[in-house]
A and B are shown apart, each in its own frame.
Chain A
Amino acid sequence: MPEGTLCNKKPVDTAQGITTLLADQSGKTYYQEMKSLEIDSDLLWKTIQNTCKSRIRTWLEICAHCGMCADSCFLYLANDRDPKQVPAYKIQSTLGEIIKKKGKVDNAFMLHAMEVAWAQCTCCNRCGTYCPHGIDTGIMFGYLRGLLYQQGFVPWEMKIGAGMHRVYQAQMDISSEDYIDTFEWMVEEYEDEYPGLTVPVDVEDADIMYTVNAREAKHYPEDLAEAAILFHIAGEKWTVPTKGWELTSLAMFAGDWAACKIQVQSVYDAMERLKPKRMIGTECGHAHRATVVEGPYWAGLKSGRPPVESIHYIEWLAEALRSGKLKIDPAKRIKEKCTLQDSCNYVRNHGLRDTAREILSYIVEPGYFIDMDPNRQHNFCCGGGGGFNGIGYFRKQRNVGLKVKRDQILATGATLVIAPCHNCWDAIRDLEEEYEIGIRWSFLKPLIIEMLEIPEHLKPVEEE
């Protein structure tokens, strides 16, 4: 069977297609069909010739096979130093082989390559920082994912996720109406507590255009209300777009570059339409990377920057605390041993290594914050990045991968892990569920709301 009905080389770009795929529970039929999926070697080789240029070819060529990248990889460490988990080995034995064989690889090889690309690398890019030659294996795995996606060898959830972006311009099947309704409903819930709290929708020339992770609208609507409350108290002139509100990109995890462009373009269109001064995205790592760091290139923006200045939520929070727009009641600061999970996507890969620490300096009682070791740009991936969290087919491997983060957290003695990133937050929740180490975890928004000093004029009027 060259092409399956569910597993094939065609991207999913209709709502019906997504529904059909979702109906295949856990992708049982999808993965069964994948075992018979044929490889279009000519297309594979042609794509490589057109897109694999000097950077990646040189990396593959000059790799000294020295193994210095081994210890940098949390999956190598978590898997008892299995030499097959050495980053250089993983990429040489997959992408390197495909290129050596000029695309003439078989089904079994591609199935193996898919496992390596999605279950043995989270594209955290830590190995790149250990290589004397400057070989960034994470970037090569991102590239490999694109080749595998084109051939139909992509985990079920990733195929669905990329399809969602194509159809809904969101990682989940949430329409613009649903999104705005949810936001407004959540804000209404808090109106009594915060008089005047609103969701400004599609306001032009606002100071801030706020974008979110669709999971917030679907599963954690409290997060939307918290964002509104913090903007409200800080006195910001902000807005949310009815279209182009989704910051994330499962398409990036899937290697579906066309969908990446569709997704990010929807946000950039909203920027062009509403002309905000700045765009601020929610507490999510990969979403920031997709829309702010990588997105401009998918959209063909030579400047390498989004149409308007775009910052991560922690940058805005740090700024609001620094400027006094948000004030913390010192008596309510965190007095519990806590630590911080640095997100690879905006710390190692976008330089925000001290921003979250600045926030913690306002909200944690001195002496209660204990950094992980290593930390900042050297921190390990949470264990669930790059889409790993969401792939049921590789759940066992993901759970093994969580061990490094578990041990890092245990070594701090912290009982609270602050994780200003959706993927990290999920991974830490899952590691507590899997290993029961007695921790709680949180985004920054709910922690800060609990300790804010509310200006008098924003407090509810007490009834006589």
Chain B
Amino acid sequence: MHALLTGPIFYLSSGVCIIGMVVRLYLYFKGLSWQLDRVAYKQYPVMGFKGAVRSIYKWLIPYGTYGWRSQPVMAAAFFGFHLGVVLIPLFLIGHNVFMAEKLGFSLFTISACTADILAWVAVASLFFLILRRLVLAEVRIMTDRKDWGVLLISMAPFMTGMLARYGVGDYSFWINAHILTGEIVLLAIPFTKLSHVFLFFASRAQLGMDFGIKRGGLKGTKMAW
């Protein structure tokens, strides 16, 4: 089972994820239309590029925008959760050892202590986000099965990884469950709302171009959206 999960299924899920992301990103930008979107993308490439970068950059900075600052608690939970779910999978030592073995390359790594802190912050933030979804009427009204599904899918490798990390019960069971649920995430990324992991950049870039070119950018006004 372990060999299957770390062998063919790993390559398959990684391949589907990467190819899926590339195809969807290509289709996204191919689907942009200057006349339908009413943005002269190609006429002002420099202004468009600057607007796109500004929009992405500002929104990636905690409290970097008016929107983030106006909802400080939500912003804390959002970044608490996303820092963990982005940094740990990419930079945990264990993951990079695995990547070096399977893919022939590895990335910068973070210490186990840093990973622990990030993980606990992410778990706390996640519970806040779940609570928020249950309690706040303005969130509850929109929450559907897909939202819970995405939360479940993205929580699963986290929880199983934590259980394996702290040696709760059978390590080999949890590590296999961790790999399997991680691979489910990889497979889900191009086809579900998890596509926001890459479409966030596309969507923000588009709105950044819109404001960078049409809605104020050519007037010299830099607005971060």
A350 contacts B219, C-beta separation under 8 Å: yes
Determine how close the nearest CB of chain B comes to the CB of A196; give it in whole angstroms: 34
A70, B147: Cα distance in complex, Å? 18
A65 contacts B36, C-beta separation under 8 Å: no
Partner of B193, one of A61, A76, A303: A61
Residues in B with CB closer than 8 Å to A304 are 34, 38-40, 43-44, 213-214
Determine how close the nearest CB of chain A comes to the CB of B198; give it in whole angstroms: 10
Partner-contacting stretch, out of A82-90, A158-166, A225-233: A82-90
Partner-contacting stretch, out of A47-55, A102-110, A392-400: A47-55
B200 contacts A62, C-beta separation under 8 Å: yes
A62 contacts B142, C-beta separation under 8 Å: no
> Is B91 an interface position by the 8 A CB rule?
no
> Is A353 an interface position by the 8 A CB rule?
yes
Q: Label chain B's interface by main secondary structure.
A: helix
B55 contacts A132, C-beta separation under 8 Å: no
Interface string of A271-299 (1 = CB under 8 A from B): 00000000000000000000001101110
A83, B75: Cα distance in complex, Å? 21
Partner-contacting stretch, out of A123-131, A173-181, A420-428: A123-131
Determine how close the nearest CB of chain B comes to the CB of A290; give it in whole angstroms: 11
B34 contacts A62, C-beta separation under 8 Å: no
A66, B200: Cα distance in complex, Å? 14
Determine how close the nearest CB of chain A comes to the CB of B13; give it in whole angstroms: 21
Partner of A134, one of B27, B55, B195: B55
A299, B71: Cα distance in complex, Å? 40
B70 contacts A130, C-beta separation under 8 Å: yes
A92, B142: Cα distance in complex, Å? 8
A349 contacts B39, C-beta separation under 8 Å: no
Residues in B with CB closer than 8 Å to A302 are 34, 40, 42-43
Interface string of B130-142 (1 = CB under 8 A from A): 0000001111111
Determine how close the nearest CB of chain A comes to the CB of B28; give it in whole angstroms: 5
Partner of A351, one of B32, B44, B137, B215: B215
- Give the residue name and chain of the A residue nearest to B39 (CB): A304
**Which of B196, B210, B216, B220 has its CB near the most chain A CB atoms (within 10 A)?**
B216
- The answer to whether A55 and B219 touch (CB under 8 A), given A65-B144, A135-B203, is no
> Is B89 an interface position by the 8 A CB rule?
no
Determine how close the nearest CB of chain B comes to the CB of A55; give it in whole angstroms: 5
**Which of A57, A58, A61 has its CB near the most chain B CB atoms (within 10 A)?**
A58
Residues in B with CB closer than 8 Å to A112 are none
Residues in B with CB closer than 8 Å to A46 are none
CB pairs A–B below 8 angstroms (8 shown): A54-B29, A58-B199, A132-B78, A133-B203, A293-B215, A296-B40, A302-B34, A304-B38
Residues of chain B at the chain A interface (Cβ within 8 Å)? 27-40, 42-44, 55, 59, 65-68, 70-71, 74, 78, 136-144, 147, 193, 195-196, 199-200, 202-204, 206-208, 210-211, 213-217, 219-221, 223, 225
- The 6 residue pairs across chains A and B that have the minimum distance between CB atoms: A351-B216, A54-B31, A351-B221, A304-B40, A134-B207, A67-B139
